[in-house]
Amino acid sequence: MTRDLTHYSGGAHRDGTSGRFGDVYDPATGQVTSRVPLADVDEVADIVGVAAAAQQGWAATNPQRRARVLLRFVDLVNEHVDELAALLSGEHGKTLADAKGDIARGIEVVEFCAAAPHLLKGEFSDSVGTGIDVHSLRQPLGVVAGITPFNFPAMIPLWKAGPALAAGNAFVLKPSERDPSVPLRLAELLTEAGLPDGIFSVVNGDKVAVDALLDDPRVKAVGFVGSTPIAQSIYAHAAANGKRAQCFGGAKNHMIILPDADLDMAADALIGAGYGSAGERCMAISVAVPVGEQTADALVARLKERIDGLRLGEATDPDADFGPVVSAAAKERIEAAIATGVEEGAELVADGRGRTVDGYPDGFWVGPTLFDRVRPEMELYREEIFGPVLSVIRAADYEEALRLPSEHQYGNGVAIFTRDGDAARDFASRVEVGMVGVNVPIPVPIAYYTFGGWKASGFGDLNQHGADAFRFYTRTKTVTTRWPSGIRSGASFVMPEGS
């Protein structure tokens, strides 16, 4: 039985009226579980109108009260975490433990946003001229939009909505059409937490809805996360319409392994970071760069041994290491990339094609895949695959290993494994990548720092979450003040006597 999902606006669910729907699948069974409405231009305009009408009241609510609503929301999400994780896994395919991580990393950012009263404070300068003071205010933008990818359906919407709402904006989310149920449930919980109607909306849809948001003059800013070609085109479209935009794109994250590294630690880290969540993480490691032939041989042997013990499974299987990929199209694309790697002459050490799981013959399964002796000119190396495919590219020395991630088109995350503090420090300083891990494979910054890649992994000048998010979702007003001489010089301070 499939059910029809909705949009969410004005504190309530709202049926789609465009007549267009997209299918939502359970990736483990390969079956359609629901239909998501795809909004047309009029539906988007209505939802933005509801948001715009509500926003000024929210902006006038003092920031501490706004923060309290968010803290109540955090409690509600924690109370409902099992239900949310099951909903998330059922449309994404990731294991339940991983789904809980998706929710937890989103909630951490909302908790950080409870500091809004502090983060929104302006500056003040006394006596910049005779009797003249200057102060600055951080004011909300109005209605802002978020357009988010399938791979973190809780975390990324919350990374955007948390700071936007805390700063006094109304937020319109256009989530991925692959897994829209968690965003809809989060909208209900925000209402239950006391968020005024209209301040958080979900408009489901595809390019039509995104273009409508980008063309609506009432939408003042757009935060996007997804693949690079779409990130770049949304950035250009938003800028052409005079909107603020931050657009985060794809990745090809490298892990450098120096000869002095703890190789068991590095191999364990690579397995988790390469294959966890079926490689569908923008911070997944997809390239391992061992330095020196001996390091490479020893690393590949350890990887092979660990890959043989990995278990594919559906979300509720407690022993599953990772689940299916998100769609039949993703499976086809990943298997085609593996075939390209073979044609290009890379050495296929483990082949994840053609895998199934007992009881789930129609799931979108791709097993862990490992290539050795990959070369920088291969498409296998140049393009993002976004699946459980790890490439080993052997570097002769440290400088070559440093050049690879620095010269790659993407610059999201990178890691170095070594016991040498001097090498690690030099690497962190010189590498042309936005987020660096030292013996940490997935260096996703904690909520009070900011998250963002360089080069083709990010367009715009401010990162997600942390203090940057409050800069992105507010505009600065600077007030210069001088007062004419007042009561001090002209008026009498003596109690008048009766006549």
Q: Which residues are catalytic?
A: 282
Would you say 333 or 403 has its CB closer to ligand NAD?
A: 333
Rounded CA-CA distance 251/49 in Å is 36
Query: Residues 363, 28: contact at Cβ < 8 Å?
Result: yes
Would you say 363 or 434 has its CB closer to ligand NAD?
A: 434
Would you say 152 or 472 has its CB closer to ligand NAD?
A: 152
CB 168, min distance to ligand NAD, A: 25
Q: Which of 151, 181, 286, 391 binds ligand NAD (CB under 6 A)?
A: 151
Query: Residues 457, 435: contact at Cβ < 8 Å?
Result: no
Element of type H or E holding 124: strand 124-129
For residue 90, give the nearest of 208, 180, 201 by alpha carbon.
180
Ramachandran assignment for 354, one of left (phi > 0), alpha (psi -120 to 50 degrees), beta (any other):
left
Q: Considering only residues 398-437, where is the footprint of ligand NAD by CB under 6 A?
A: 412
Query: Residues 249, 238: contact at Cβ < 8 Å?
Result: no
Decide if residue 282 touches ligand NAD (CB under 6 A).
yes
Q: Which of 36, 74, 147, 447 binds ligand NAD (CB under 6 A)?
A: 147
Instruction: Provide the token pair at 495.
Output: 């109690």
CA 241 to chain centre: 24
Pairing assessment for the beta strands 132-140 and 474-482 based on DSSP bridges:
antiparallel
Degrees to nearest 5, angle at CA 496 with 492 and 498: 160
Measured from the Cβ of residue 112, the count of other Cβ atoms closer than 10 Å reads 23
Query: Residues 201, 180: contact at Cβ < 8 Å?
Result: no
CB 226, min distance to ligand NAD, A: 3
For residue 270, give the nearest of 313, 306, 312, 322 by alpha carbon.
306
Contact region with ligand NAD (CB under 6 A), list: 248-256, 288-296, 341-349, 489-497? 248-256
DSSP string, 207-235: HHHHHHHHH-TTEEEEEEES-HHHHHHHH
CB 227, min distance to ligand NAD, A: 3
Q: Considering only residues 13-32, where is the footprint of ligand NAD by CB under 6 A?
A: none
Q: Which of 182, 251, 299, 378 binds ligand NAD (CB under 6 A)?
A: 251
Q: Which residue is nearest to ligand NAD (CB)?
A: 226
Measured from the Cβ of residue 53, the count of other Cβ atoms closer than 10 Å reads 14
Rounded CA-CA distance 143/171 in Å is 6
Would you say 102 or 372 has its CB closer to ligand NAD?
A: 102
CB 52, min distance to ligand NAD, A: 22
Decide if residue 443 touches ligand NAD (CB under 6 A).
no
Decide if residue 10 touches ligand NAD (CB under 6 A).
no
Total chain residues near ligand NAD (CB under 6 A): 26
Task: Break the chain down into helix, strand, coil percent, rounded to 5.
Answer: 40, 25, 35
Contact region with ligand NAD (CB under 6 A), list: 20-28, 183-191, 205-213, 299-307? 205-213
Decide if residue 162 touches ligand NAD (CB under 6 A).
no
Decide if residue 204 touches ligand NAD (CB under 6 A).
no
Decide if residue 299 touches ligand NAD (CB under 6 A).
no
Instruction: Provide the token pair at 76.
Output: 């509600």
Q: Which of 107, 158, 212, 230 binds ligand NAD (CB under 6 A)?
A: 230
Would you say 235 or 470 has its CB closer to ligand NAD?
A: 235
The site for ligand NAD (CB under 6 A) is made up of: 147-152, 174, 176-177, 206-207, 210, 225-227, 230, 248-251, 282, 384, 386, 412, 453, 457
